[in-house]
Structure 1
């Protein structure tokens, strides 16, 4: 009784087609080649009111925040590298005079 296994991203996208885009469950199930029962189960698991969906949303928000912070820190590092190179060059100039 082992059915076909689908990746989690596939399931989440199928649920979004029903919950976010307003397609009928039977329509999405037929188009994707899954059973209506499976799609209903996925909606319970990944729908907008599920705990797992909320956890994924929280994780995605955290990832966005960390990427923004990484971008900022990388820019600061690059600026400091340029400043260090500039001042190192200025220091050499002042010792030659």
Structure 2
């Protein structure tokens, strides 16, 4: 039985169709003319790399969320301070007492 060799670019595109585009392994395998078993092996071979990258992206996203929440709290505090009346001037400018 002869084993067919596939170019790395071909394998990468096949895996990309499964992982990124959401196609099923049997569909992609049938469309590209490869065995589903081979395609499952290709997908499994890149999964550790992908999960490491996804973990890194998830950690970065969580850090960004925490930073944005802290910034939002700060801005809300500033807003609340600016909303409070200062008490230095009366409500109506015509009521300002004149010193004689």
TM-score bucket (shorter structure): 0.5 to 0.7
Normalising by the residue count of structure 2, what TM-score does the alignment of the two structures yield? 0.52
Counterpart Cα distance in 1 of 2:60 and 2:72: 18
- The answer for unaligned runs of 5 or more in structure 2 is 1-9, 91-100
Q: 1:66 to 1:13 in 2, by over 3 A?
A: closer
TM-score of the pair, normalised by structure 1: 0.54
Q: Which runs of 5+ in 1 are unaligned?
A: 19-24
Question: In terms of Rg, which structure is larger?
Answer: 2
The C-alpha deviation readout for 1:30-81, integer Å capped at 9, x for no partner, is 2xx11125871x444331xx2x321111000111111111111111101101
Structure with bigger helix share is 1
Q: Which structure is richer in relative contact order (CA contacts within 8 A, separation 6 or more)?
A: 1
Question: What is the CA RMSD across the aligned residues, in angstroms?
Answer: 3.6
Q: How many residues align?
A: 80
